[in-house]
Amino acid sequence: MTQTKRSDAITKGPSRAAARAMLRAVGMTDDDWDKPIVAVVNTYSSVTPCNMHLRTLAQPVCDGIREGGGVPVEFGAPVVSDGITMGHEGMRASLMSREVITDAVELAVRGHALDAAVILVGCDKTIPAAAMALARMDVPGVVFYGGTIAAGCLGDKDLSIQDAFEAIGAHARGAISDEALDAVERAACPGAGSCGGQFTANTMAMALAFLGVAPMGAGEPPAEHEDKPEQAHRCGMLAAKSALGEGARRFVTPASLRNAALAVVASGGSTNAVLHLAAIAAEAGVPFDIDIFDALSRETPVIADIKPGGRYLAQDLFRAGGYRVFGQRLMEAGLLEDAPTVSGRSLFEELAAAEETPGQQVVRTLDDPVKRTGGLRILYGDVAPEGAVLKTAGYATGSFSGPARVFECEEDTFAAVQRGEIGEGEVVIIRHEGPRGGPGMREMLQVTAALAGQGLAGKVALITDGRFSGASHGFVIGHVSPEAAVGGPIALIEDGDTVTIDPETRRIDADIDWQARRAAYTPRPQRRMGGYFDKFARLVGSASKGATTIIEGDSDV
């Protein structure tokens, strides 16, 4: 007896003759009606190197689905390039795109009653969106990461997009010439692939492998590596063979979310992972507290020597032995919990297959780490009663106290930095850039990179209700909640107020009369931008809960 499948709703019975007629027009035959139909959702775009090669990888994915006994059907989904939109109005669309991609995958798969999905991803928000969509729908599926970009080369130095942003700051203070800036610009991005450090894309690709929804070993080969098409084919076969099995929620559990968070912390990964793992958990209906990042950071060292806090790039991690070598260190230390993965093998079975490259220096041991404590801390206090995220990888964790310099948007802050108006010891506040107030919760890499280029990384503190890029480094605190747009305490700080950050006690406080400030406070009108931007601003929730647009109860549908 043929097993019942979701796609029977469009392929079986006399009442579906019209649907079958249309499916015949795209090449399906009588032999296909009993096969699972698998969506191939491709975030290909020619606007960004992160995703520009995904079109060529879709074909081996489709071939793998056919070989695995399924029928592939292809869809597109949008991508917003973080690197290109950084520093201007377009960055507001970045986090919003995560929700749109999630919705697009759901609509394509549910609308056509498909049995499973392979989602091809590259740039930052496409990766968590893929996991969010699979968790929301609870259908079988695979997330396939297109891989990291190769290092740029300028003389004997390896470059990433981080170097281009920091060169802007160095140029502004006269440290490098027009010609030197131009040389970095031309060399930083040599071809296809996502930004090359342990920035948001590579952080989330690693996190999803440890979460179990991306096959271990598939995402790690760089974008233009000869093994990439073979991994694409493998992902197609996995999706086809699992299409009639359990949905993706079997992989999203408290244990696997902890494993994913541990990978982020131990690799010195992006603060954006806090936002994205919370959102994935929310879509799956699994309780998740962002304090897990803080707890793990207290007990877990950073063992991956990768930029922005380290010396190497993601391609070097692959050459060293990849996620398996990194994860094997954590497994042997008893820090991970075994869990199922989409490859069909458990996490521990995958990590046991590690092959470490002799002499590699990218993955350190727990006895000789890059840094003794993890890279992320969750702070509270007067300024952030619902939490904020501090990235400490590569920097000391001592307290920081100084006078506030308050800015109402990123552009004003960047202009002040470029004019050389930010001084060592100051606490820069960038507000009304949160999920609702932005709207869109922009990243501030343009600001942090300009400060780094001026030699001020770690010498000033930055606090925002917006986000920081995975390439940001310095004493940076994002995701301050509640945000200014909803009257959070960050809205009440004024120039000159003394703000104190104490990573050890996990607090951000300001020495002011909060009651008097609240009494004198006049809220700013919500920024109106029209279209989806206003819709997002109305729907989006707190950054402390993942900044999703889930309506209460949606995750239980």
Catalytic residues: 469
Contact 453, 420 (CB under 8 A): no
Buried b (16+ CB within 10 A) or exposed e, 331-340: beeebbeebb
Q: Which helix (H) or strand (E) holds 467?
A: none
Distance between CA atoms of residues 388 and 489, nearest Å = 12
% helix, strand, coil for the chain, step of 5: 40, 15, 45
Enumerate residues 6+ apart whose C-beta is below 8 A from 556: 285
Six token digits for residue 154: 């300028």
Question: What is the Cα 445 distance to its own chain's centre?
Answer: 14
Taking Cα atoms as reference points, which of 61, 53, 395, 26 lies closest to residue 234? 61
Cis, bond preceding 308 (omega within 30 deg of 0): yes
Contact 159, 184 (CB under 8 A): yes
Rg (CA), the chain: 23
What phi and psi values does residue 33 have, to the nearest 5 degrees? Answer: -70, -25
Six token digits for residue 390: 């501090």
Contact 507, 516 (CB under 8 A): no
Q: CA-based diameter of the chain, in Å? A: 75
Taking Cα atoms as reference points, which of 392, 8, 319 lies closest to residue 150? 319
Distance between CA atoms of residues 204 and 274, nearest Å = 10
Pairing verdict, β 475-481 and 387-391: antiparallel
Please report, as a single letter, which amino acid is at residue 426.
E
Using CA of residue 262, residue 469, residue 402, residue 456, what is the dihedral sign? positive
Six token digits for residue 418: 């470029």
Question: What is the Cα 115 distance to its own chain's centre?
Answer: 27
Taking Cα atoms as reference points, which of 445, 500, 501, 454 lies closest to residue 473? 445
